Structure formats: structure tokens, C-alpha cells
Amino acid sequence: MKTLRMTGRLLAGVLAVATCAAQAQSQASAAAYPGKPITIVVPYAAGGGADVIARALGKVMGESLKQPVVIDNKPGAAGQIAATAVSRATPDGYTLLLSTDNMYSINPVLFGKGSQDALAGLAPVSNLVGAPVVLAVNAAGASPVRSLAELIAHARAKGAPLAYASPGVGTPHQLIAESIAKAAGVKFVHVPYKGTSSAVADLMGGQVDVLFGMPATLQPLAAAGRLRIIAVTTPGKSALLPSVPTVSETYKGVAISSVDMGLMVPLATPGSVVQRLNEEVQKALGHKDVRAILADNAMVAMNGTPAEYAQRMKTARQERERIIVETGIKAE
């Protein structure tokens, strides 16, 4: 019995020493951070909006941190592949996730356990940028549609479901489209696209009636007279499109917050490292080169602390889950 007690005490002592050593090593590593290149994992292919933002931030942050920031594109499964990879990475601040709001506000509701598990293994660093979803119609020829009310009137007169284009199932674009259909009492048919160019081509060709997209790709086409942006989906007026009416002006309470991007890290990343990264993000978002790229891509900076980003994620999750329940959207 005495031997067992001594063995237990010895084991407890060894564990205590090991814990202290691990804590000391973690603190030393955090103090020396960063000591090697940092990777930002992007859940979309190279060349898209998320990739452009990640590379702009990475360049400026790398110069400030005096370490290269590498972009690793891991598209697929509505962002779950990238989120899972980062959640399983070593929590040392060298692997970051460029998070998009569907990953934490829609995927866990529609796609279940896999998305929930990945999200549970991540911690917020900072919100980055945001932009509203907009509705666009064909402006060519004698198109009569110049407002959301006229679009719905056209749908009723058509006597057939209105076909709408979006970037895919489980996107904020689909959620707001189905909310409008429910509020208006009309039928919409969802036509998901992998790229905006093909969606625009089909809108121009009459295969779809309306396109739910982002200002970055649709504003230039509207300025050229090819498309007409008839509404923004945010609760209030958009700073990017101050003259465009909101959906809620036609259907009260029908709105969805801006489509956001942010940065996250593996859950157990030291707090001092998270704080350092947050500080670097705030500096980068204020850099003239990043500001210019945001303007070119019709996005606004969304600065904030890790706690503020966590609260924004929570609010977005509640908003989007309510819409999914109300509209009955299902994963396809």
C-alpha cells in the first residue's frame, strides 16, 4: 500500500513538472512569435474574392511581422475542408483560417456534425471585411423591372416560378432569396452556379430572372448598363450603394446581414498570440494598399477584437438559423 501511495505521489509530481514545462515552453514560444512563416488557409480557389483579400492582408502582415505569410487554398465542401484542416493544426499561431460567415452561421445548421466539430476546434481572431448581397436584373432591351416590387409583379404576371441565380446551396444569397419569396407569396426556383460569369451570362440570356450576388462583380456590369441593381439585402442602407433601396423597404423585416470574412485559429492557440495577430490585422486593414484593394472589390473593413468577432458570429448564426427554419431550406 505504501508503495502504491509513493508511486501515486511520484506520478503526480512527474505530471506537475511536465505540465509546468509545457506551459513554460508555450509561453516562451508565444513570446518569440512569430519565428517562422505563417499560413492562411483559404476555403476557396485562387483568384476569388476571399483569395484576393487573404493575399492582400498576408503581404502587409508579413512585412510587419517580418515573416512570410503563405496562402494555402483548400476549396470544397462549403468551406468544411479548410475549417477541419485548421481546427486540427498545431495551436501555435502559424496556421490561420480565412473564415466566411456561411462556415459558422449556415453550415452547422444545414450540414450538421462535421461542420459543428470543425467550428468547435476554432477560435476567433478578428472580423476582416463585409459586403451586402444585392439583387440584379437584366437591364438590356426593354426590361421593365426597376425595383423589387416590379420584380415580384413580373413573377406574378409570368404565372410560373421565378428563377434566381446564386453562388450555391446554403449561401446567404439563397437564404435571402427564399425569405423574399416567402414574404411575397410567390414561388422561386433556385439555380446555383459555381461562377458569377456563367450566372451573368444566363441572366443576360433570359435563363434566369434575377441574380443574387456581390457588389464587386455586379457593380461594374451595372455601370456599363448591362445589369440593373434593384435592391440590397442588409437591414439598413449600404455605404457601398447608398442610393439603392433595401429589401426591407418593400418587405418589412426581410433582411440579412452583410457577408463577412474573418480570421480564426485552432482553439488552444495562446491568448498572447491571438492578441498579436489581432493587432496586426487591425494595422493591415488600415494600410493604404489593403484599403485600395477593398475599394476595388466593393468591400468595407470590419475591424474588431476577438470578442467582438465572436459576438458577430453568434448574432449571424441566430439570424441565419431563423431564416433556415422559417423558409424550410434543406441541404441538397
Quote the percentage of the chain above a pLDDT of 70: 89
Same fold, 37-130+259-327 and 134-249: yes
301 vs 140 pLDDT, higher one:
301
Alpha carbons 22 and 92: distance in angstroms, whole number: 13
Q: Which residue has the cell 456563367?
A: 198
Question: Given a cut of 50, is residue 24 above it in pLDDT?
Answer: no
Rounded CA separation 129/51 (Å): 13
Contact predicate 70/39, CB 8 Å: yes
Tens of pLDDT along 161-217? 999 999 888 889 999 999 999 999 999 999 998 778 889 999 988 899 999 999 988
pLDDT at 219 over 70: yes
Instruction: For domain 37-130+259-327, give the fold.
Output: D-Maltodextrin-Binding Protein; domain 2 (3.40.190)
User: pLDDT band for position 17 (50/70/90)?
Assistant: very low
pLDDT for the residue 66: 97
**Nearest residue to 104 (alpha-carbon basis) of 89, 85, 117, 93:** 117
Bridge-based pairing of strands 300-301 and 210-213 is unpaired
pLDDT confidence of residue 186: 94
Per-residue confidence (pLDDT) for residue 21, from 0 to 100: 44
Contact of 101 with 299, CB cutoff 8 Å: no
Average pLDDT (278-298) is 95
Query: Domain limits of the chain?
Result: 37-130+259-327, 134-249
pLDDT > 80? residue 18: no
Question: What is the mean predicted confidence (pLDDT) over 109-122?
Answer: 83
Yes or no: say if 129 and 294 are a contact pair by the CB < 8 Å rule: yes
pLDDT for the residue numbered 49: 83
Strand partners, 232: 134, 246
Report the topology of domain 134-249. Answer: D-Maltodextrin-Binding Protein; domain 2 (3.40.190)
